[in-house]
Amino acid sequence: MTGMRNRQKGLGIFSMLTTIMVGGLVIMAAVKLGPLYMGDFAVSRVLTSLDEKPGIAKADASEVKGWLDKGLQTNLIELHPEEIQIVQGRYDGVSIAIDYERRIKFIRNVDLIVSFEHDWKVKPQ
């Protein structure tokens, strides 16, 4: 019984270094991915703010695109035109689909890729 107690003294140097390395990688990933998720949160807020626009139910696709572009520009969000699809429905109004991905360098030849999707549809007022 006493022999086992003397052998269990805690983390060894290899275990401690492994823990520090894994913790460092997790913190580094969080620091690099944080701005991407904050930008995506801003895109989400711009889309939800469209619901509060007066006359949005009767607006056409070009008006909605103007409001969306203004909101994205205000929040310093850059999306390529092919990442935004605005559709004018015959009976159900305007809908927006935003689908984009971002790639960032992580370590040497390892990249992190995140993909974001948002759908918005005009709500009847």
pLDDT digits (tens, 9 = 90+) for 32-88: 999 999 999 999 999 999 988 888 888 888 999 999 999 999 999 999 999 999 998
Residue 38 exposure: Cα atoms within 13 Å on the Cβ side: 8
Tell me the mean pLDDT in the region 22-34. Answer: 94
Whole-number Cα distances in Å, 111 to 36, 79, 99: 14, 20, 20
**Which residues lie across from 101 on neighbouring strands?**
115
pLDDT at 91: 74
- pLDDT of 4 above 70: no
The residue ranges of DSSP E strands in the chain, in sequence order, are 84-88, 94-107, 110-121
pLDDT at 1: 53
Domain positions in the chain:
35-121
